[in-house]
Amino acid sequence: MDKRTIAAAVFFSIVAVFLIFGALFMHPFGDPTEDDMDQYIIDNTQSQTGADNGVTSVVFDYRGFDTLGEATVLFTAVAGVILIFRRLKK
Amino acid sequence: MMGMSKIVKTMVSVALPLTLIYGLYIIAHGHLTPGGGFQGGAVVASGLAMLVVSYGSVWTMDRIKEKHLSSLESLGAFGFIGLAFLGLIFGSWFFNNFLLGNEYLFGMIGEGASNINTAGVIPLMNFAVGLKVIAGLFAIVLVMAYATSKKGGDL
Amino acid sequence: MIYNIPYIAVVTLVLIGLYAVIMKRNLIKIVIGITLIESGVNLFLITLAYREDSVAPIYHGSGMRLMSLPVPHALTLTSIVIGVAVLALMLSLIIHIYKHYGTLDAKEIGRKEE
């Protein structure tokens, strides 16, 4: 048992104690604490956007800027993968 | 990567059009039923990955070059940003839903009017993002499968 | 305390993934550990969006029922796509490392680098 294994075990046990302590004292499952914004979105989806799907109207209309960032991340990942496997013709 | 036997190739050529129709249905009805651009794009991309697995990556790479896939993906991204900027030009702010009042093209609002002709600019954005996800995921699978074969790389 | 079972499942997934990242030496097993941590975080985001006796936030045209919150569903969609992108880049870098060094052991690669 060298020093690296002992340090890794101490770090792992500290993180495990924090996580289990946090999981046992959360608020009960099925009872969200604050839901004023989501209740406004549920009530006004059909009259303000005209879509029946609440999740699509949040992704593309109320929070469309996050979808722009996610499309950029996907584009960068595909560009990186094609760049790694490029073969230059001699 | 070599292909598989004749029975697998026959069954894939029967199952592939059904998977493509199912995925395009999920993309097109994204504002009425559960689904949308990202989910439908993942379904179509996994159907095309079935093509790469069963017919071999050398056979697929001889017929579909990767520069066509990359230009399709750029078209999808350009369409998404173009719709956002058109909302700035025709409306007042970025990502404005400017097709929501007229009666010609995707304009109706109303409770219980669940046909495709509703919801403004959201179905067009669904098509742009779906095209981007299809081309991107298929390009990743094809390039990684071709680089680990005998002809494409030296692995 | 019996009603906090989803939170205990999240903590189990994160701890198993963290053990795989710290204690294993094969590069592929480290990547699998990172994917397990990602799945645990996605499950946690979905768990926060539930109300008691509710359905999905989609209108059918047959009356109004109690619906779950739609914003954490949208955040989970973004997180899943980002996880796929990071996994694709990690796997192509591992293929390139194997072509260059000939082994997949983290300690051997560190020893060859010196």
For residue B15, the one-letter residue type is A
What integer is the mean pLDDT of A43-49?
87
| Reported confidence tier of residue B103, pLDDT bands at 50, 70, 90 | low
B89-108 CB burial, b ≥16 within 10 A, e <16: eeeeeebbbbbbeeeeebee
| Reported confidence tier of residue B95, pLDDT bands at 50, 70, 90 | confident
What angle do the packed helices C5-23 and A3-24 form, to 10 degrees?
170
Question: What is the pTM for the complete model shown?
Answer: 0.91
Using a CB-CB cut-off of 8 Å, the residues of chain B touching C77 are: 38
Do the Cβ atoms of B132 and A71 come closer than 8 Å? Answer: yes
Question: What does the pLDDT look like over B51-73, one tens digit per residue?
Answer: 999 999 999 999 999 889 999 99
Asked if the model's pLDDT at residue B1 lies above 80, the reply is no
Q: How far is Cα B108 from Cα B115, in angstroms, rounded to an integer?
A: 9
Q: What is the 3-state secondary structure (H, E, C) of chain C?
A: CHHHHHHHHHHHHHHHHHHHHHHCCEHHHHHHHHHHHHHHHHHHHHHCCCCCCCECCECCCCCCCCECCCHHHHHHHHHHHHHHHHHHHHHHHHHHHHHHHCCCEHHHHHHHHC
Look at A69-78, C61-70, C80-89 and tell me which has the smallest mean pLDDT: C61-70
Q: Is the dihedral of CA B97, B103, B108, B110 positive or negative?
A: positive
Using a CB-CB cut-off of 8 Å, the residues of chain A touching C78 are: 66-67, 69-70
What is residue A42's three-state secondary structure?
Answer: helix
- Provide the chain C residues 19-78 that lie in CB contact (below 8 A) with chain B: 56, 58-59, 61, 77
Determine whether the interchain pair C59/B114 forms a contact, defined as Cβ–Cβ distance below 8 Å.
yes
Q: Tell me phi and psi for residue B67, to 5 degrees.
A: -80, -25
Question: Which residue segments constitute the domains of chain C, with CATH numbers given?
Answer: 2-52+68-113 (1.10.287.3510)
**Chains with 3 or more CB pairs under 8 A to chain B:** A, C
pLDDT of residue A82: 93
- A48: which 2 tokens? 């303000």
Mutate to test the interface with C, among B140, B154, B155 (most CBs of C within 10 A): B140
Asked if the model's pLDDT at residue A25 lies above 90, the reply is no
Which residue from B112, B147, B154 is facing C95, i.e. has the nearest CB? B147
Determine whether the interchain pair C47/A29 forms a contact, defined as Cβ–Cβ distance below 8 Å.
yes
What integer is the mean pLDDT of C5-21?
95
Terminal CA-to-CA distance of chain C, rounded, Å?
52
Provide the residue ranges of all domains of chain B, joining segments of one domain with +. 6-147
- Provide the chain C residues 74-113 that lie in CB contact (below 8 A) with chain B: 77, 81, 84, 88, 91-92, 95, 99
Summary mean pLDDT of chain C:
92
Determine whether the interchain pair B33/C91 forms a contact, defined as Cβ–Cβ distance below 8 Å.
no
ipTM of the complex in this document: 0.88
- C33: which 2 tokens? 């550990």
| Reported confidence tier of residue B113, pLDDT bands at 50, 70, 90 | low
